[in-house]
Amino acid sequence: MNPSEHPYHRSLAPMMWVFAGIAGLELVIVHFLLALWDWRVALAVTLVSLAGVTWLVRAIRSFRTMPVTLDSEQVAFRAGHIAALEVPVASVSAVRTQWAGPEVKRRDVLNLGLIAYPNVLVELSEPVQRRRRAIRAVAHRFDDPAAFIAALEAARRPA
């Protein structure tokens, strides 16, 4: 099976751009309020906030260049350069598009939908370690969830 790419930037980026805009607005307002008190504190806070907004913009732009990839052996789930997890296709036990709301908030679910509500939940038969967490499911918000599910089901079928 040839590797396939499954984008998510059209689903995640708009909400993240709104978040970045609000963060930029907050940066300006806080800078002016702090400048009334002490210009050195205002400068320090502005530099830290500007670094955070710059990181956020780079993260949003990475959504387009770092799609979820899938081949016959593994799925590389990504949310830009914010988070990633590689999962063997053999350890995928189920793929769902409907679930109870609190289910994606469990500690053993890696939600790569970030601030968007996920439209796919991939359950794993064996947990995958990520730092100090055992991940048993991955939630994501795909631009075309049907194409991802079809490709994953094709990869799960024995050749």
* Res 44: pLDDT: 93
| % helix, strand, coil for the chain, step of 5 | 50, 30, 25
Residue 6 near residue 70, CB atoms below 8 Å: yes
Stated pTM of the model? 0.85
* Res 159: pLDDT: 63
- DSSP secondary structure letters along 36-91: HH-HHHHHHHHHHHHHHHHHHHHHHHHHHHS-EEE-SSEEEEEETBTEEEEEEGGG
Please tell me whether residue 10 adopts helix, strand or coil conformation.
Answer: helix
Question: Can you give the pLDDT of all 159 residues of the chain as single tens digits?
Answer: 568 999 999 999 999 999 999 998 988 998 899 989 898 999 999 899 999 999 999 999 999 999 999 998 999 999 999 999 999 999 999 999 998 888 899 999 999 999 999 999 999 999 999 888 999 999 999 999 999 999 999 988 876
Enter the tokens of residue 6: 């499954």
* Res 157: pLDDT: 84
